[in-house]
Structure 1
Amino acid sequence: MKFSEVIGQEDVKDRLRELVRERRVPNTLMFCGPMGSGKMALALAFASYLLGERDGEASLLADSQAIVNAEAMLARWEHPDLHFTYPVIKPVGTSAEHKMTSDDFTREWHELLCKSPYFSMDAWLACMDAANQQAIIGAGESDELTRKLSLKSSQGGYKVSIIWLPERMNVECANKLLKLLEEPPRQTVFMMVCEEPDALLDTIKSRTQRIDIKRIDDAALEQALIERRAIDVDTAHRIARIAGGNWLRALENLEASNENRLFLDMFIMLMRLAYQRNIKELKQWSEAVAGYGREKQRRLLRYMMRMVRENFMYNFGQPELCYLTQEEENFSCKFARFINEANVVDINELLQKAHRDIGQNANAKVVFFDLALQMIVLLIRK
């Protein structure tokens, strides 16, 4: 994977190239940043460069055939000197004695990487058919990684270990990895791709060179949408603003079956029925939402909080303050006047309370019907 395939982040790319030019590549790097900013993409691009992938015309390998071979292996993410560590589940029926490692899901991992270097934990869990299981990095992983990295480089250059979401290591694995970082194998580079660095052991963090990655700037995101998804400039501009520097969120807004469109329909239905004081249909609405899974219910409530905020801002008549899709704006242009100084705080608190209650396993039918009834009162405030 080339640096040119990473969306935006030009300053980080230059910094990584400079580390190589000045021969100051550290033993351990930690890429930190918000979801969808391209942390994994940058780690993959840097690993590819260290292992011989050309950056323009430049490569760390001198032999042209070696470069071709390296690029062919990296295209499938099957380079023998590139090792991946990532959280995995323990499938039902697995022996209790078996210590799960990344190798148990190699095929699924390569399929995910080949689709795109931009993905979320939810996407990875879906690849593993995880259902409600939690994915972790266990003690068996550190043992396997130690074994792999003790071998000599097959190509005579760097060995690279990419650890995705190291904050999901259990204590035993983290302690074993710490020993490996204290005495790293020769010419080995560890790259940690981290979303919650505070969850890592301080002793591990102290042995890394941290690279903080900001959200993708809107111009780069907009250009990527135009070039990679062939959409018009106006749509790309609107989606880039809504995405907030998150490529995954930008793609979600392009999906025909986008969950947010369902959420918009449910938000519109709630507000219209509450305005009409239609108790019977509000009860049906609450029962329909109660049929969603709890995580989906919480996502719906977060979406509603965003819509309340955006409709309140819409009243100011300044487009640069609003982050709405075209469908959302079509509804908000008439609805926004109902969200005002007299009710915006109370509506937001009502939604936050429902979000908290659902997270604490309260009865969803009761929570959402209560929400719907209270919305009737709040909407008529002026």
Structure 2
Amino acid sequence: MFFKDVVGQNEIKKRLIRSVKEQRISHAQLFAGQSGTGKLAMALAYAQYISCRNRTDEDSCGVCPSCHKYQKLAHPDLHFVFPIFNAKNLNKPVSDDFLPQWRGKVLQSPYFTLGDWLHHIDAGNAQGEIYERESESILRKLNLKSFESEFKVMIIWLADKMNVACSNKLLKMIEEPPSKTLFLLITENEEDLIGTIRSRSQLVKFPFIEAEAIEEALLKIEGIDPEIVPDAVHLASGSYIRALSYLNPGEDERFYLLKFQEMMRFAYARKVSELITWADEMAGIERDKQKAFFAASLRLVREYFISNLKCRELSYMNREEMEWGKKFAPFINERNIVPFAKEFELGIQHIGMNGNPRIVFLDTALRMVRLIKR
């Protein structure tokens, strides 16, 4: 991964390059920011730049043996930790057991979500976690001498998914790191990390990506229709992942919209039996998708409320959502927008706490009956 391939974030690129030139590389750095801001891509580019034997003032050379191995994510001094699940065919799995799938996913594009990753490894209802046993694997790897590079690099993607025991063991390694070790922790929920890890890591805050940078990156995609790029950039709202999702809506996005439409239609018509069937169906999907549905519903009611205010510049809907909203948006108003939002936020919370999904979805659906006619 090269710095030039990271979308936007030029100030962070300059800061990281300067740290290498001035030999002021902090041994533990926390890349924090919203989904789609390029944290994983930047971590890969930074690690490759540090290990490059012929780096320039702006980027890795791309031709030395180290760069060739980094471009395949196969460098012996590059290590990864990421959320996994307890697969039935594996005994106490760690990240290395999923490394081939990880390399394939990242090489395809380093811009993806936790849901994308869990779907890629067929995690089913598992929410993805970094288990305590992972810390033993980290310690074993980092206590070895570097094979080729000056630094051993450990990239921990979504470090906030570490359980408490793993976090505490990692803290000890960060406090007393092995020689020439670099921890790059990536998080989208900085507050979910234990405070001692945050305080001992150098924070690199990733802002939303500039619209110009997203537009430039999208126009480089082969076969892209230039006419839809402005809409994609607007909808992205600073997230390159959202921009890509607009260009190529996945099955999940269509599914969430369809189920939102069904819920609201049944609620408006007061079809309780259909709502019960709908809740049963939603209870059968993966838990991560259940949370994603509530998050999508929360976004949709916000967008339809904004649509009622005639503020096009503040609305972030794709064409299908906008078309359906022409009839539905008037039902989201100042009398029910706050209760709607609270119900969907509560749904995310309850599913995240392993609540019974059938009860959660049925309760939410029945509350829609009361709210939609306010």
- Into which bin does the TM-score normalised by the smaller protein fall? 0.7 to 0.9
Q: Is the aligned partner of 1:86 residue 2:82?
A: yes
Question: Is the contact made by 1:28 and 1:209 (CA closer than 8 Å) also made in structure 2?
Answer: yes
Distance, in Å, in 1 between the alignment partners of 2:60 and 2:145 is 18
2:104 partner amino acid = E
Instruction: Tell me what 1:35 maps to.
Output: 35
Distance, in Å, in 2 between the alignment partners of 1:120 and 1:192 is 16
User: Which runs of 5 or more structure 2 residues have no equivalent in the other structure?
Assistant: none
Instruction: Tell me what 2:301 maps to.
Output: 308
Instruction: Tell me what 2:278 maps to.
Output: 288
Q: Describe the shift of the 1:53–1:216 C-alpha distance in structure 2 as closer, same or farther (beyond 3 A).
A: farther
Distance, in Å, in 2 between the alignment partners of 1:51 and 1:365 is 50
* 1:157 alignment partner, SS class: coil
- Offset, 1:94: 4.3
Question: Is the contact made by 2:304 and 2:325 (CA closer than 8 Å) also made in structure 1?
Answer: yes
Q: Is the aligned partner of 1:119 residue 2:115?
A: no
Instruction: Tell me what 2:52 maps to.
Output: 52
Question: Is the contact made by 2:294 and 2:347 (CA closer than 8 Å) also made in structure 1?
Answer: yes
* 2:247 alignment partner, SS class: coil
Q: Describe the shift of the 1:357–1:225 C-alpha distance in structure 2 as closer, same or farther (beyond 3 A).
A: same
Question: Is the contact made by 2:336 and 2:372 (CA closer than 8 Å) also made in structure 1?
Answer: no
2:4 partner amino acid = S
- Offset, 1:325: 1.5
Distance, in Å, in 2 between the alignment partners of 1:106 and 1:333 is 46
Question: TM-score of the superposition, structure 2-length normalised?
Answer: 0.83
Question: Is the contact made by 2:87 and 2:93 (CA closer than 8 Å) also made in structure 1?
Answer: no
Aligned pairs for 1:13-162 within 5 A: 13-52=13-52, 67-92=63-88, 94-95=90-91, 100-162=93-155
- Offset, 1:285: 5.5
Q: Is the aligned partner of 1:242 residue 2:264?
A: no
Instruction: Tell me what 2:6 maps to.
Output: 6
Which residue, 175, 178, 191 being the options, matches 1:182? 175
Deviations 1:233-278 (A, max 9, x none): 4422222222322222333333354433344344445556666x4x
- Offset, 1:139: 4.1
Question: Is the contact made by 1:181 and 1:207 (CA closer than 8 Å) also made in structure 2?
Answer: yes
Length, aligned pairs only: 368
Aligned pairs for 1:291-370 within 5 A: 291-292=281-282, 293=285, 296-345=289-338, 347-348=340-341, 360-361=355-356, 363=359, 366-367=362-363, 370=366
Q: Describe the shift of the 1:299–1:289 C-alpha distance in structure 2 as closer, same or farther (beyond 3 A).
A: farther
Which residue, 193, 201, 211 being the options, matches 1:208? 201
Question: Is the contact made by 2:332 and 2:372 (CA closer than 8 Å) also made in structure 1?
Answer: no
Q: Describe the shift of the 1:373–1:18 C-alpha distance in structure 2 as closer, same or farther (beyond 3 A).
A: same
Question: Is the contact made by 2:347 and 2:360 (CA closer than 8 Å) also made in structure 1?
Answer: no
Distance, in Å, in 1 between the alignment partners of 2:291 and 2:273 is 19
* 2:320 alignment partner, SS class: helix
Between 35-44 and 243-252, report the one with greater CA deviation. 243-252
1:123 partner amino acid = D
Q: Describe the shift of the 1:365–1:222 C-alpha distance in structure 2 as closer, same or farther (beyond 3 A).
A: same
Between 345-354 and 82-91, report the one with greater CA deviation. 345-354
- Offset, 1:114: 1.4
- Offset, 1:31: 0.7
> Which protein shows a greater Rg?
1
Distance, in Å, in 1 between the alignment partners of 2:166 and 2:335 is 53
* 2:238 alignment partner, SS class: coil
Distance, in Å, in 1 between the alignment partners of 2:245 and 2:365 is 29
Q: Is the aligned partner of 1:193 residue 2:190?
A: no
* 2:204 alignment partner, SS class: strand
Distance, in Å, in 1 between the alignment partners of 2:11 and 2:87 is 41
2:179 partner amino acid = R
Q: Describe the shift of the 1:252–1:372 C-alpha distance in structure 2 as closer, same or farther (beyond 3 A).
A: same
Question: TM-score of the superposition, structure 1-length normalised?
Answer: 0.82
Deviations 1:308-352 (A, max 9, x none): 332232233332122222222223334434444455445555655
* 2:153 alignment partner, SS class: strand
Q: Describe the shift of the 1:137–1:266 C-alpha distance in structure 2 as closer, same or farther (beyond 3 A).
A: closer
Question: Is the contact made by 2:26 and 2:182 (CA closer than 8 Å) also made in structure 1?
Answer: yes
